[in-house]
């Protein structure tokens, strides 16, 4: 199980690395910023799934961060992180599902919003990684 947890952390870390690299893109546009935030979502989603697995829960193939946090039974999850999960959920999109009606407009994304989400994602990533660490 320890190896699986480590792989999930590395997998989530790769998404966060992609988000940071996109942020430094030489020619960003609005979709670049949308993808940055999407990779932030993926980072948090994978970390929550890692905690769920660590806690002996079933791996749910869903993308709702609030549902995943509840299912993972993360104890002492800071309220500010929960509020962020609610906001970050709005930025998940599934362009690989062509039969879905995309009637809701995608939330605004620009450099200012992207850096805010990057910073908050980094905090949650570190918090969940520390949460995973054995207590001394």
Nearest to 91 by CA among 125, 122, 117, 52: 117
Residue 136 has pLDDT above 60, yes or no: no
Are 60 and 71 within 8 A, CB to CB?
A: yes
What confidence tens digit (pLDDT) does each residue in 34-48 have?
A: 899 999 999 999 999
pLDDT > 70 in the chain, percent: 88
Q: What is the pTM of this model?
A: 0.88
Contact 130, 78 (CB under 8 A): no
Q: What would be the CATH architecture of the domain defined by 2-95+104-132?
A: Up-down Bundle (1.20)
Judged on CB neighbours under 10 Å (0-12, 13-18, 19+), 20 is middle
Estimate to the nearest angstrom the gap between the alpha carbon of 30 and the chain centroid.
19
- Dump pLDDT digits (tens) for 86-113: 999 988 876 555 455 555 667 888 999 9
């Amino acid at each position: 199980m320890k190896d699986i947890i480590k792989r999930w952390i590395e997998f989530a870390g790769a998404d966060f690395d992609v988000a940071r690299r996109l942020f430094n893109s030489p020619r960003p546009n609005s979709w670049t910023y949308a993808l940055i935030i999407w990779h932030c979502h993926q980072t948090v989603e994978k970390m929550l799934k890692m905690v769920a697995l660590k806690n002996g829960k079933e791996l749910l193939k869903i993308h709702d961060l609030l549902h995943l946090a509840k299912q993972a039974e993360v104890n002492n999850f800071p309220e500010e992180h929960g509020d962020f999960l609610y906001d970050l959920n709005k930025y998940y999109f599934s362009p690989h599902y062509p039969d879905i009606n995309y009637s809701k407009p995608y939330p605004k994304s620009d450099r200012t919003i992207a850096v805010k989400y990057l910073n908050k994602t980094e905090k949650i990533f570190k918090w969940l990684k520390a949460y995973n660490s054995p207590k001394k």
